[in-house]
Structures are given as structure tokens and as C-alpha cells.
Amino acid sequence: MKKNILNISIYVAIIFFIILPVIYTIFSVFFGDSSFLENIKLLDKNTFLLLAKSLLLAFTVASFTTFFGTILALLLYKTKIHLSNFLKLVLLIPLFISPYILAVAYKDFFFLVFGNSNLISSFFGVILVLTLVFTPLSILIIGSALSNINSQIEESGLILTSFNRVIYKIVLPLIKPALISSFILVFIFSLSEFSVPAFFGVKVFTTEIFSRFSAFYNHSLAILQSLFLIIICVSLLLADRKYLSKASFLAIGNKGTKNNLYKLKNPIISNLFLIIWLIISVALPFIVLFIQAFSDGTTNFFKALELLIPTFASSFFLAFIGAIIIVFVGFIVANYSVKYKKTDWVLLIVFAIPSTIYGISLIKFYNQPSLNFIYSGYAIIIIGYVGKFSFISAKIIENALKQIPKSLDEAAQIASISNSSRIRKILIPLILPALFASFIISFIFSIGELGITIMLYPPGTEIMPIKVFTIMANAPQSLTSSMTLIVFSVSLLMISGFYFVFKIIKRRR
């Protein structure tokens, strides 16, 4: 009984803190603002063409990332490839760098090599950059699922047929939820992305929404247009639900999850692929950034350091707390989704909304004298992060939970172990890799978040991505690149720290 009250209050808190502001804003668009009808008229054929273009972009990027993510995840998590632990970490790097900055690096690279940047300042360029940025996300999600497959399911296949067939016909179908999650997440991210298309001069739906803001300050119209994004995303999720509803899934074996690693017959090709990917997605931008950073000597690098050092502590603190709460919320929602078959579309709505609009909803909702204690401190930023990224966390954890047979939990129930003990001692240890993956992703996204943060950050505070982008407004390239290098190095250090701690925790168990 007590447990239920706690559960209910947690759900209520989630709804109140995260969902209500958004719903409140949407309602005020329809019922509060008199210009609603005028705004409807502004939705012309052009808008819908742009929407179609955005959908095409998102679909292409999501397909590529899922494809490459699968290959890379298989190599990293299922084979005895050299240095796999190091590679798992290093290949995450593009996630730490803001897509916009990567776009700048690639444009400069093309300029250096080809003398002009026409090839990349195009639809193709946007796809390239977004694919490189989001593939690490796919690798994490798919890799996490691959690690959870019962080895006997693979082995019974290996007795009968070749390794390749086992992968195609058994392993991949069994991780379909992860493949689909990865696709949907990247699809939504690409759909809402605007800084990269804007930089390459490619018009898409989000650049349209954005210019409504910038130029017209027409909030209502922008929100209305965002509704389209939400509707598309929710439909995707519903399709995902329907398609997956018939499958029943895996068992974690009685001997625990021993993850089989297989030796590659032809390591040369695989290693080559990994190296090429590493070069294109990590080494190249890094080198370009490096060249740019030190093009006028080291003064700007030290200046960048000076500018950024005051931001490290607060950024880390915010991202860390944010990530923990995000994992917690994700777990609650995922648990609920799996048990009662309700959907997590509620979190999806917030995820699908462009950051700026979500920021505005939070302002409108929380900027009341009575709620000042939330609004004028760091809490509001954390609420922003939690709202924005909980969906991802819930998805990752949900996939892991689905892979646990009910019997494990029921066995504990029969043995009269309390609910909280069951969760703590049985459920959580079994999904620890997923919890950790979810934490890392949430941390990375939170520490680099710009759109919401800039709308909400308390005056006078110093936060890393804000600092980079405000200084970037009028700074020499070398300063900007130096700042980027520093931001990414610091993030990398923090993440490595987490991996290290995680290894220790695993060993202790």
C-alpha cells in the first residue's frame, strides 16, 4: 500500500513537472490566443513541402545510423576485435560535440581539400553530419541489446548453421526492439534539428519554425507548427507499439548473461571498416578543430581555457544530477510501460517538441511568483533536461526490461521479498548495463544542451555550451575551435571517469 502511494506520487510529480507545462502551452495556443485562425491560414503548401523534406531527411539519417550502428555494434559487442573497450568509448565522441560545430569542421575540411564547400553545403552534407553525430547513439542502444542475448540461443544456431546466418536470422530479429528504438530516436532528433541545416543553407521545416520565432516572434504559429512534429512522432511510436505487440522475448539464462564473443574469420575487412569510420567521424573533425584552434598560436587556446574553467563545475553538477533523475524517471516510466502495457507517449510529446518551444512552455508555466524558488534557480534547468531526455532513457530501459522473463521477478515475489528489494536486488542488477548506457547518454546530452538552457539559465550563471555559443557570436575561429576542443576533452574525461567507476561497481558484484 505504501509502495503504491509512493508510485502514484512519483507519477503525479512527473506529470506536473514535465508534461503540464507543455499541455498548458498547447492549450493556450488554441484557446488563449486570438490569432489562432490567422495562424492556421499561414500554413501553406510551402510549409507542407518543407515538412516532407524534413521527413525525408530524418528518414534517411535514421536509416543510415541504424544500419551503420548495427554493423559497428556487432563488431564491438559481439566479436573479439582488438581494443574493443577503447573503441566503444572513442566512437562515442561525435555525440559530445555539438552537431553545429561538427558541421563547421567538415565544411572547413572540404574547403581545405577541395577548395570549395559546395559538395557539403547541401542536403547530402546535412545527412552526412547528422549520420556521423547520431550513429554513436545507435551503437549504444543496439550494443546494449546485443549484450543481453542468451548465449544458448546463439549457440543452438551455431550448431546448425553458419555464423552469418545466425546473425541475420536469429540475433538481429531478436534485437528488433532496439533497432526500432534506435531508428525512432534518431528520426526524431533529425526531425527537430535545425542548426546544421541552417548552417549549410538547407531549408527544412525546423528552419521554418525557427525563423518564425526569430523574425516574427510569432510564438503561436511556431507552436502550431511544432504540433505537426509531435503528431508525426506520436504516430511513429504507435506504429512501433503495434508492430512489436505480438513478439515475446528473450530469456536471460539461468547461468546469467554470459556474452559470447566470436572470432572474426576475416578481421582485415572489419578492422578496416572500423578504422575508416574512426577516421571520418572522430579523427577528421578533431584534426580540423585542432588546426583551427592553434592557427594563430596558443593565445586563444589559453583564453578559451580561461573562459571555460568557471563553467566546469556547474555544468558537471547540472548534467550529473540531471542524468540521475532522468535515469530514475526513465526507469519508473519503463517499468510502468512494461507492466501495464501503457505507452510512454507522454514523454515522447515533450521529446518531440523543439527545445526553444519547450523552454518557452516552462517559462510560461513556472515563471510565477509562487514558483519563483524553482524558476530562479538551477532546478528549472534540470526540469528542462529531464523533460527533454527522459524519453530516451525510458526507451533504453524498457528494451532491457522486456528481455527479463517474468519468472525471475515472480520467483522473488513467491519468496516474499518486498517490492523495493526485488527492484533493487534483482531487477536493477540485471539491467545495469542499460541503466548505465542511459545515464551516459543523458549526461552527454544534458551537458551539451543549448536550446532549452539558453531560455532558462539563471542570469549570471556560467554553463559550458552557453558560454561557447555566446562567445562564438563574435570570436575568431581559433577561439571557438579551442573552446570546442576543451569542452569535448573535459566531457570525454568525465565520461571515462564514469566508465571506470562502472567497471569497479561491476567487479564488486
Does position 303 interact with other proteins (CB under 8 A)? The reply is no
- The CA distances from residue 265 to 149, 259, 472, 473, in Å, are 22, 19, 49, 52
46 to 75, contacts with other proteins by CB under 8 A?
Answer: none
- Would you say 46 and 209 are in contact if contact means Cβ atoms under 8 Å apart? no
Single out the segment in contact with other proteins by CB under 8 A; choices: 148-156, 333-341, 416-424, 428-436: 148-156
Query: Distance (Å, rounded) from C-alpha 255 to C-alpha 259?
Result: 11
Kindly state whether residue 250 participates in binding other proteins, applying the rule CB under 8 A. Answer: yes
Q: How near is the Cβ of 323 to other proteins at its closest, in Å? A: 12
Among 366, 357, 321, 355, CA closest to 458 = 366
Min separation Cβ 91 and other proteins, Å: 26
Phi, psi of 79 (to 5 degrees): -125, 165
In whole angstroms, how close is the CB of 278 to other proteins at the nearest point? 28
Half-sphere exposure for 317 (CA within 13 Å, toward CB): 11
Nearer to other proteins, 235 or 265 (CB): 265
The closest alpha carbon to 401, from 132, 144, 158, 165, belongs to 144
From candidates 105, 140, 174, 394, binder to other proteins by CB under 8 A: 174
**Closer to other proteins at the Cβ: 144 or 220?**
220
Q: Per CB under 8 A, which region of 179-187, 275-283, 316-324, 427-435 contacts other proteins? A: 316-324
Are the C-beta atoms of 222 and 400 separated by less than 8 Å? Answer: no
Q: Which of 148, 457, 464, 486 binds other proteins (CB under 8 A)?
A: 457
Please report whether residue 321 would count as binding other proteins according to CB under 8 A. Answer: yes
Q: Which is nearer to other proteins, 156 or 496 (CB)?
A: 156
Range 473-492, binding other proteins (CB under 8 A): 473-475
Q: Which stretch binds other proteins (CB under 8 A): 29-37, 124-132, 195-203, 483-491?
A: 195-203
* 254 DSSP 8-state letter: T
Asked if 247 is part of the footprint of other proteins (rule: CB under 8 A), the reply reads yes
Of the chain, the end-to-end C-alpha distance in Å amounts to 31
Residue 115: left if φ>0, alpha if ψ -120 to 50, beta else—which one? left
Asked if 363 is part of the footprint of other proteins (rule: CB under 8 A), the reply reads yes
C-alpha dihedral (173, 176, 179, 183), degrees to nearest 10: 120
Cβ proximity to other proteins, 227 vs 472, nearer residue: 472
Residues from 83 through 142 that contact other proteins (CB under 8 A):
100
Report the residue number, 157 or 267, with the smaller CB distance to other proteins.
157
| Residue closer to other proteins, measured from CB, 188 or 452 | 452
Q: Using CB under 8 A, which of the segments 29-37, 185-193, 366-374, 426-434 binds other proteins? A: 366-374
| Residue 156 binding other proteins, by CB under 8 A | yes
Q: How many residues can be counted in the chain?
A: 509
Q: Output phi, psi for 43, to 5 deg.
A: -80, 95
Distances (CA, A) of 290 to 305, 318, 349, 480, 482: 14, 28, 39, 11, 7
- 451: contact with other proteins by CB under 8 A: yes
Binders of other proteins among residues 205 to 224 (CB under 8 A) are 210-211, 213-217, 219
Residue 353 has φ and ψ, to the nearest 5°, of -75, 140
Cα 221 to Cα 209: distance, rounded to the nearest angstrom: 8
When the beta carbons of 80 and 82 are compared against other proteins, the nearer one is: 80
Among positions 373-432, residues that touch other proteins (CB under 8 A) are 373-379, 382
- Torsions phi, psi for 262 (to 5 deg): -110, 145
The answer to whether 310 contacts other proteins (rule: CB under 8 A) is: no
Number of residues that bind other proteins (CB under 8 A): 74
Torsion of CA 151, 157, 162, 166, to 10 degrees: -70
Query: Are the beta carbons of 343 and 237 closer than 8 angstroms?
Result: yes
One residue of 235, 295, 368, 413 binding other proteins per CB under 8 A: 368
- Least distance to other proteins from the beta carbon of 204, Å? 14
- Which one among 47, 152, 271, 419 touches other proteins, defined by CB under 8 A? 152
368 CB neighbour count, 10 Å cutoff: 10
Q: CA separation (Å) from 182 to 59, 62, 423?
A: 12, 8, 26
> Cα–Cα distance between 473 and 462 in angstroms, integer?
16
Piece of 69-77, 225-233, 386-394, 448-456 that binds other proteins (CB under 8 A):
448-456
CB of 426 to other proteins, least distance (A): 18
Q: Among the candidate windows 227-235, 420-428, 466-474, 498-506, which touches other proteins by CB under 8 A?
A: 466-474
